[in-house]
Structure 1
Amino acid sequence: MAIINRIGEFAGDMKTWRRHLHAHPELGLACHDTAAYVVDHLRDFGVDEIHEKIGVSGVVGIINGQGDGPTIGLRADMDALPMQEMTGLDHASTVPGRMHACGHDGHTTMLLGAARYLAETRNFRGRVALIFQPAEEIDGGAKYMCDEGMMDRFGIAEVYALHNMPGHDVGTFYTTPGPIMAAVDTLRVKVTGRGGHAAYPQDTVDPIMAVVSMVQAVQSIVSRNLSPMDNLVVSVTMIGGGTADNIIPEDAWFAATVRSFTPEVREMVQRRLREVIEGQAASFGVTADIDYELGYPPTVNDPDAVKKAAAVAQEISGANRVQANEGREMGAEDFAYMLEERPGAYLFLGQGKDGAGVHHAAYDFNDEVAPYGASFFARLIERLNPV
């Protein structure tokens, strides 16, 4: 019950890789330099096949094992966030307005570590497909790669991924069968009335009042239209309108994020949002232009894949440090698109209880975690496809 010795031996190299990636963040689908860095290392490791520019800047590396067997996919995301870093670290971002605030530099490093070990040892049957994906934070790079036929092209039978999790002890794992991350949708509403002088409101149709009422009314969906046994978040996150304190504006707007786990709840909340907003608009005499954008679907783990992944995690960290039925997260993940096409599992890996959380300007991936993640990926391949 420990990290793989060989991976522990090159943990220092993984720290170097990770800190280089941290200092050179890229956004969205434009992870070209990151992909080139990955490709250079895969070549050095002796990976058998390297396929580039899948989903714009995605990379798939293939390592052949000993004899016939299925192809297992391992995925890491590569992109950063459009944030200004505030860590003050020596390896801090060198690109203003960009930083690896979600640990994707660490995810890429862990998969590179597994690739190095698996290419050296090849103590498995079949093949491993190393999936380095852009644009998890925005654009849905996983969908781009899947839409280009990645799963069929490489004959991927199952697919697995890890995500670091601050607030949990280093090297602990948790996951759950079924939905583990929510679907994420976006609501944008523009409300149009009739502007005028604020001293004469009777001559206007006030969109501000309507927006305030709509924002309050949509909160009733969770409390009154949803079973207490289900999960749903409707969070209004932006609101705006007006240019001066003595002018009632012509229009105002608000936006919200909507998180759910099942198709039934997802359909219900979309329908009720339209009904509530249109009803409020009618009562105030305004018009409401509703834009409801469907985003990433829920991330749904295959129960059998969870059992297999949890057993491997227990080998690495011990049974008491692995939770295989931990519960759901209301965050979202575009790995969902890969799990829609193939069975697999998504797991969280604890990176320590100290330090900032993900998507915070003071966040930094904990390099002590990388050998755990690389060992998990490597041992998973050896256990799923034993020689």
Structure 2
Amino acid sequence: MRLTNTDIVELTAFRQALHRQPEVSGQERETAAAIARALPAPDALVTGLGGHGVAAVYDSGRPGPTVMIRSELDALPILELTGLPHASQSPGKGHLCGHDGHSTILLGLARLLARRRPASGRAVLLFQPAEEDGSGAAAVLADPRFADLQPDWALSLHNMPGVPLGRAWLAPGPANCASLGLKVTLTGSTAHAATPETGRAPTAALARLIDGLRALGPGGALAPGFRLATITHIRMGEPAFGIAPGAAELWVTLRGLTDEDLATLLTRAEALVETEAAAAGLAARCEIHDAFAACRNDPDATAILARALDAQGIGHDPGDLPMRASEDFGRFGTGAKSAMLFLGAGSDHPALHDQYYDFPDALIGPGVGLFAHALGELLG
């Protein structure tokens, strides 16, 4: 079963309507409501899942596995500059990663499932909130209602600018790095700038931490043991010439090929902070933000997606996998065979998170087709 031309026209219009009204992580209330209204005849509909998440269940009524297909709801806090007729109408916010398109693909898949239920098991279409800050998957999994939706298989895709249309990246094993943001606060005491020795300034400790943290995560090849520490923000003292600073803040993104690599880097980073703070007589506090688990493609799930791509005539190879960038899909690999593919958005297409990015509507049909093939293989 395939989408009709009318389906494609209607889904394209829906995607562009979502694009006009972007909502950032944790604020996807209207996006979720629009999707819930557009879902055709699910056997069960769960809303408010892990925040504003939506899950639609299409059940055969017969024994079989549960296959979850996931998309994302959230946009980015970035000003869109495309100038398109369907450009963002929310200043400073934009669907500049394609989550509007991914969700539209799932709505197209829902149309096919409403017309013909799976022969066995059930399909769960999950529209996940808060992917961009890494909080959404954890919140969905922590929602007690997710226990009834626990999948045996979890599949997803992400569009990928720079990869030609009609091509995809897919490979078993590591796909995306684990990462987190570490916010370090150093607190001493201020002093007059003429007598800095009477205070406890974080200046020297901050300088040592900048170099020390980078040395703990030097980057390099994406091989086992890969670790990268990227300083993203620094603030110290007040913008005044007469005050020696008494506090500082440092933000660093820590990244590892595996969850274990990231955990090792975090332990070493926190120990370094404590050592430098103690040596300078400062109080130190570390806070974790934007925590993403590593995304690893199960071989069996990868093979399912590979056959779906082949059936759609979409060529594929490992491309640049694994990627340094993180993806909030990795957590769904716990208890399920999971895999994610990266569908080409065009060789010269603006990059993800670029102010001129827009999801290519030409991907809606192929995206629906490959997930429909995967469901057909797993559920009949």
Q: TM-score, normalised by structure 2?
A: 0.90
TM-aligned CA distance change 1:7 to 1:126, over 3 Å: farther
Could you say which residue in structure 2 is the equivalent of 1:306?
Answer: 302
TM-aligned CA distance change 1:199 to 1:353, over 3 Å: farther
> Which amino acid in 2 is paired with 1:213?
R
Could you say which residue in structure 1 is the equivalent of 2:261?
Answer: 265
* Structure 1 residues not aligned, in runs of 5+: none
Deviations 1:79-112 (A, max 9, x none): 1112222221110111222211111100101111
Asked whether the 8 Å contact 2:222–2:257 carries over to 1, the reply is no
Q: What is the aligned-residue RMSD (CA, Å)?
A: 2.7
Could you say which residue in structure 2 is the equivalent of 1:213?
Answer: 208
**In 1, distance between residues paired with 2:244 and 2:303?**
59
Q: Which moved more, 1:253-262 or 1:13-22?
A: 253-262
Query: How many Å apart are 1:161 and its aligned residue?
Result: 0.8
Query: How many Å apart are 1:150 and its aligned residue?
Result: 4.7
> Which amino acid in 2 is paired with 1:88?
G
* Structure 2 residues not aligned, in runs of 5+: none
**In 2, distance between residues paired with 1:332 and 1:89?**
29
Could you say which residue in structure 1 is the equivalent of 2:54?
Answer: 59
**In 1, distance between residues paired with 2:146 and 2:157?**
19
Asked whether the 8 Å contact 2:76–2:94 carries over to 1, the reply is yes
Question: Within 5 Å, which residues of 2 pair with 1:177-326?
Answer: 177-223=172-218, 229-242=224-237, 243-293=239-289, 295-318=291-314, 321-324=315-318
**In 1, distance between residues paired with 2:61 and 2:3?**
20
Count residues in correspondence.
379
**In 2, distance between residues paired with 1:326 and 1:150?**
36
> Which amino acid in 2 is paired with 1:330?
R
Paired residue secondary structure (1:100):
coil
TM-aligned CA distance change 1:227 to 1:282, over 3 Å: farther
Could you say which residue in structure 2 is the equivalent of 1:48?
Answer: 43
Matched, 1:29 2:26: yes
Deviations 1:290-328 (A, max 9, x none): 33458222122212111111121121134xx21258521
**In 2, distance between residues paired with 1:308 and 1:62?**
21
Could you say which residue in structure 2 is the equivalent of 1:374?
Answer: 368
TM-aligned CA distance change 1:253 to 1:39, over 3 Å: closer
Q: Which moved more, 1:254-263 or 1:215-224?
A: 215-224
Paired residue secondary structure (1:6):
coil
Q: Match for 1:170 among 154, 165, 173?
A: 165
TM-aligned CA distance change 1:292 to 1:371, over 3 Å: same
**In 1, distance between residues paired with 2:203 and 2:5?**
59
Query: How many Å apart are 1:254 and its aligned residue?
Result: 0.8
Asked whether the 8 Å contact 2:218–2:228 carries over to 1, the reply is no
Asked whether the 8 Å contact 1:78–1:132 carries over to 2, the reply is yes
Deviations 1:162-185 (A, max 9, x none): 111111111322123233122222
> Which amino acid in 1 is paired with 2:35?
V
TM-aligned CA distance change 1:172 to 1:7, over 3 Å: farther
Question: Within 5 Å, which residues of 2 pair with 1:117-132?
Answer: 117-122=112-117, 124-132=119-127
Matched, 1:359 2:353: yes
Paired residue secondary structure (2:95):
coil
Deviations 1:192-250 (A, max 9, x none): 334334344444443223212210111111349x9974211111100011322343211
Paired residue secondary structure (1:364):
coil
Paired residue secondary structure (2:85):
coil
Query: How many Å apart are 1:9 and its aligned residue?
Result: 5.7
Asked whether the 8 Å contact 1:62–1:129 carries over to 2, the reply is yes
Question: Within 5 Å, which residues of 2 pair with 1:323-334?
Answer: 323-324=317-318, 327-334=321-328
Q: Which moved more, 1:253-262 or 1:101-110?
A: 253-262
Q: Match for 1:115 among 104, 110, 133?
A: 110
